[in-house]
């Protein structure tokens, strides 16, 4: 048996949380893109890829050695706001294909922001003001990218 064929299987077993999240998010994304027809294709792709990140976070949080030696998890405010604008802009660009995908995108952005806010405030690692600022930054990035890409699509169609 070739060892190169076994290595991906061993990696999947070792990182089972990442695999579970990736499969679950991919199934949800597929359902929202095809049968329900609520999201556009790029939105579904980003949703499926985000499952890898959620799984990696879950995997890291459950390793005892990482939890014992974890440094302060709060980044500087400028980094947090910049990251929120960047992620909101990427999601806005992916949501700009139809009005239905834009509405679904803002709803998913709001649900995600509320879930992250509740999680981090319950853990005591994020202040309410910082959470509001990051959500406002992400929503602003979303709206700007949505408008920019929608205008770009309209000029290409004309």
Res. 73: pLDDT tops 70 = no
Its pTM stands at: 0.68
Residue 116 neighbours by CB under 8 Å, 6+ apart = 131
Using CA atoms, how far apart are residues 25 and 50, in angstroms rounded to an integer?
Answer: 7
151 pLDDT tier (thresholds 50, 70, 90): confident
Helix intervals (H) in 15-127 = 16-33, 41-61, 64-69, 77-94, 99-123
Q: Which pLDDT does position 58 carry in this prediction?
A: 79
- Residue 68's CB: how many other CB atoms inside 10 A? 7
The model's pLDDT over 78-120, given as tens digits with 9 standing for 90+, comes to 888 888 898 889 888 888 888 888 888 889 888 888 887 787 7
Q: Encoding tokens for residue 75?
A: 């980044």
> Tokens standing for 35?
């049968």
pLDDT at 72: 57
Burial of 112 (0-12, 13-18, 19+ CB in 10 A): middle
Half-sphere exposure (Cβ direction) of 21: Cα atoms closer than 13 Å = 16
> How confident is the model over 113-126, as pLDDT tens digits?
888 778 777 777 77
């Amino acid at each position: 048996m070739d060892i190169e064929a076994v290595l991906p299987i061993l990696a999947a077993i070792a990182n089972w949380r990442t695999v579970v999240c990736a499969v679950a998010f991919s199934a949800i994304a597929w359902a929202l893109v095809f049968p329900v027809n609520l999201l556009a294709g790029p939105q579904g792709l980003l949703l499926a890829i985000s499952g890898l990140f959620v799984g990696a976070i879950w995997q890291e949080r459950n390793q005892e050695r990482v939890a014992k030696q974890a440094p302060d998890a709060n980044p500087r405010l400028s980094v947090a706001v910049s990251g929120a604008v960047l992620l909101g802009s990427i999601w806005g660009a992916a949501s700009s294909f139809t009005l239905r995908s834009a509405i679904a995108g803002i709803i998913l952005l709001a649900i995600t922001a509320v879930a992250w806010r509740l999680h981090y405030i319950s853990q005591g690692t994020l202040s309410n003001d910082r959470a509001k600022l990051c959500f406002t930054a992400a929503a602003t990035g979303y709206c700007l990218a949505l408008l920019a890409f929608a205008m770009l699509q309209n000029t290409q169609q004309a």
